Homo-oligomer: A and B are copies of this chain.
């Protein structure tokens, strides 16, 4: 009975709404990031959180299935089950999650974690792995974003790094940073400026650590804007961990990370209702198909782009309906008959992709695969 069991032939045969992924754009995005890292001599440790699929994990690791980042234990277990190794769980660890981490550490050749508080350091020190091997640990650093991580210029950064480095049951890997301030940049120059500033702070901390006798083997920095337009100084880092660059989205486009043609994913939907008296129409994609992400920006900045129809704006959503109109100009309903298709570039592909059970992978119009992401925690 389920229509999804039959694989549609072309993108025009999928049910609506569906999530489309252009494999040719993906390949270009994957190659470009690989080349950027190679050029700088930096290791690429791609983040899986944006797509959460085996297939794209393989592509991003150049077929090695090694050296990835995840943000949930579900992702870590999913990739471990599918033959991936050298997995970094880049999330502030807490005591309650250590049992699952131990199982991962025992199963994998390399499983790395992240601490950022005295409490989590204490939890690690007092909870041995149980197989006579060491926990492998990054210290998360906050370069001023104020989300998680130890403040880069704090004494605590020194204290925790020293504790990790001196603990006999911990292998201290170095410093991990989400350079999220690059999301505030606009344009490649501004992105590079943020990268230069962040790199400088991280290198300063590395020097401070060295002066305190703590060797810092690896400096790992993530964020799709920053890694897409790296400042030359970032060649002094050891590792990049971007994730969103495989799909990109309208947020990356507005930051200046990518062009519209680099966005590899779209929501396909249909016009299902005209409301001429109010100059708007409904599509069969609501917040469960698009996500609310970016709606706070308002119509001028976002959130989504209707491919080929720059005049269309997403006015609002309920669970299964999107309301679409124009700003100030009359909507030409004859261009959008009931049943006609629209293709939406999402504002934040991580948020939109997570809403789908399947991704329909296409090359040109032809469907060439169906990928199933993992979900949960």
Show the binding face of A for B, using Cβ within 8 Å: 1-4, 15-18, 49, 71-74, 77, 80-81, 91-92, 94-97, 100, 103, 107, 116-117, 119-120, 142, 146-148, 151, 180, 270, 272-275, 277-278, 280, 282, 284, 287-289, 291-293, 295-296, 318-321, 323, 337-339, 350-351, 354-358, 375-377
Q: How many copies does the complex hold?
A: 2
**A272 CA to B140 CA, complexed, in Å:** 13
Interface centre among A273, A321, A350, A355 (most CB of B within 10 A): A273
The answer on a CB contact under 8 Å between B292 and A119 is: no
Contact B77 A351 (CB under 8 A): no
Shortest distance between the CB of A190 and any CB in chain B (Å): 21
Chain B residues lying within 8 Å of A355, measured Cβ to Cβ, are: 354
A116-B273, A148-B275, A354-B355 known, 20 other contacts, Cβ within 8 Å: A2-B77, A15-B73, A15-B377, A71-B319, A91-B320, A95-B339, A120-B338, A142-B275, A146-B277, A146-B278, A146-B280, A147-B323, A148-B272, A148-B321, A287-B293, A288-B351, A289-B377, A292-B292, A319-B350, A357-B376
User: CA of A49 to CA of B288 in the docked complex: distance in angstroms?
Assistant: 11
Residue on B with the closest CB to A316? B147
Which 9 pairs of residues, A with B, have the shortest CB-CB distance? Answer: A292-B292, A119-B338, A148-B273, A92-B272, A92-B273, A94-B339, A71-B320, A357-B376, A146-B278
Contact (Cβ within 8 A) A337 B293: no
Give the shortest distance, in Å, between A104 (CB) and chain B (any CB): 8
B376 touches A4 (CB 8 A): yes
Point out the residue from B74, B92, B100 that lies within 8 Å of A282, measured CB to CB: B92
User: Shortest Cβ distance from A93 into chain B, in angstroms?
Assistant: 8
Contacts of A72 in B (CB 8 A): 320
Can you pick out 27 interface pairs between chain A and chain B where the beta carbons lie within 8 Å of each other?
A1-B77, A1-B81, A1-B107, A2-B74, A3-B73, A3-B100, A4-B376, A15-B73, A15-B100, A17-B377, A49-B319, A72-B320, A92-B272, A117-B273, A117-B338, A119-B337, A119-B339, A146-B277, A147-B323, A148-B272, A148-B273, A148-B275, A180-B318, A284-B377, A292-B293, A319-B350, A319-B351
Most buried by B among A15, A18, A74, A358: A15
A42 to chain B, nearest CB (A): 24
Question: Is there an interface contact between B1 and A274, defined as CB atoms closer than 8 Å?
Answer: no
Contacts of A97 in B (CB 8 A): 15
Which residue on B lies nearest to A76, using beta carbons? Answer: B1
A180 CA to B319 CA in the complex, in Å? 13
Residues of B within 8 A of A81 (CB): 1
* Contacting residues, chain B, for A142 (C-beta < 8 A): 275
A358: which B residues are within 8 A, CB to CB?
376
A356 to B146, CA, bound (A): 28
Q: How far is the CB of A113 from chain B (nearest CB, A)?
A: 13
- Verify B357–A375 contact, CB threshold 8 A: yes
Instruction: Indicate if the CB atoms of B338 and A94 lie closer than 8 Å.
Output: yes
Residues of B within 8 A of A284 (CB): 91, 94, 377
Q: A377 touches which one: B16, B49, B148, B321 (CB < 8 A)?
A: B16
Q: How far is the CA of A146 from the CA of B321 in the complex (A)?
A: 12
Nearest B residue to A278 by beta-carbon distance?
A: B146
CA gap between A275 and B272 in the complex, in Å: 47
Nearest neighbor of A116 in chain B, beta-carbon distance: B273
Neighbouring B residues of A151 by C-beta, 8 Å: 277
User: Which B residues are in CB contact (< 8 Å) with A117?
Assistant: 273-274, 338
Closest partner residue, chain B, to A356 (CB atom): B376
Residue of B nearest to A120 (CB): B338
